[in-house]
Amino acid sequence: MALDTSSQQPRRSVTFFERRELDRLLRLYGQMVAAGHWRDYAIDGLADAAVFSVYRRASEAPLYRIEKRPALARRQGAWAVIGQAGVILRRGHELDQVLRFFDRARFAVVE
């Protein structure tokens, strides 16, 4: 039985994280879960971006989105950390550079 390929839609390419990028993101996620700041995450591969979203609770909007947009690599940088309101908090060319945003002392527990 032959397949009818005329009715199939063309495959669109999807942007996604490379293994070392995903390892780095999951390592950060594990650190933040251990510190009690994050509880859930989601990964999306879109046509123009790969998105790693982190949540305090699964039922809420994401606290942060870490986006990889290859089309912006030569301009502002492919990587960005975006806050809840959609504001770009940090942008850069290297993932580790952008993830330094989360190293700040503001994540320390204040009693």
Q: What is the pLDDT of residues 11-69, one digit of tens each?
A: 678 889 999 999 999 999 999 999 888 999 999 999 999 999 999 887 789 999 999 99
In a domain, 110, yes or no: no
Q: Residue 76 falls within a domain, yes or no?
A: yes
Classify residue 13: in a domain, yes or no: no
Residue 54 domain boundaries: 19-104
pTM higher than 0.85: no
Which CA distances in Å does 2 have to 5, 9, 59?
A: 9, 17, 45
Burial class (CB in 10 A: 0-12, 13-18, 19+), 37: middle
Q: Is residue 49 part of a domain?
A: yes
How many Å apart are CA 52 and CA 102, to the nearest integer? 14
> Is 42 a member of any domain?
yes
* In-domain check, residue 111: no
Q: pLDDT tens-digit profile of 65-89?
A: 999 999 888 888 999 999 998 999 9
Structural domain count of the chain: 1
In a domain, residue 1? The reply is no
